[in-house]
Chains A and B, each alone.
Chain A
């Protein structure tokens, strides 16, 4: 049984560009959450998707948006990239409100 997968593994962008990160949840899971982990910090909650809708949102600007597809996979989009968006982006999946399982993350570097 494959766990949570994320792509790409690493990404380098320049300021002002847009980026899309992808996540496939663990089999049987219907909820996907996204977190941003800056270097040396704990993960910060960005938002959560359930039934193709954003259910909760953390304290992140509208430049951060997402989508969930009918197969429960999800995308995180970030527009107008800033240097401060450089971080490890973690996807976690769960069955409704239960235990979250994390993927390996996508390392985004903004130059």
Chain B
């Protein structure tokens, strides 16, 4: 069935370090891919998205590239800040069929950035 596998956390980095959070997916259909971020005590915010193969989504210094051949959508940031500390979720939805509009999420990766 449809699923998302994310890199196990928690991830702890020092400020200005490079961040990678791995995400792979299994989808029956052609998915649109998303990264959501959840700050403590809050709901989910869309961080970035990509809707077709080789698209790169970017926002607030974060980037992820839709890799259809490896079914991956890894999140990267060149220099993290303390304010980036949050839980990051990889997700997808499929256009068409019975899953259209339903988001399938990974389990989340906790990121903690120290000064």
Contacts and interface: CB of A to CB of B under 8 A. Distances in A.
B95 A45 contact: no
Interface residues of B, dominant DSSP: mixed
Contact of B100 (A35, A40, A97, A101): A97
Contact of B45 (A94, A102, A105): A102
Contacts of B101: 31, 33, 48, 55-56, 94, 96-97, 100
Interface in A11-43: 31, 33, 35, 40-43
A99 B46 contact: yes
A48 B102 contact: yes
Contacts of A43: 44, 89, 103, 105
Interface string A49-66: 000000110100000000
A90 interface: yes
Interface residues of B, number: 22
Nearest to A44: B105
Interface of B: 4, 36, 42-46, 49, 89, 91, 95, 98-108
6 closest residue pairs by CB, A with B = A42-B105, A102-B44, A102-B43, A104-B43, A97-B101, A45-B102
Interface of A: 4, 31, 33, 35, 40-45, 48, 55-56, 58, 90, 92, 94, 96-97, 99-105
29 contacts: A42-B4, A42-B105, A42-B106, A42-B107, A43-B89, A44-B105, A45-B102, A45-B103, A48-B101, A55-B101, A56-B99, A56-B100, A56-B101, A56-B102, A58-B102, A90-B43, A92-B44, A92-B103, A97-B95, A99-B49, A100-B46, A100-B101, A101-B46, A102-B43, A102-B44, A104-B42, A104-B43, A105-B42, A105-B43
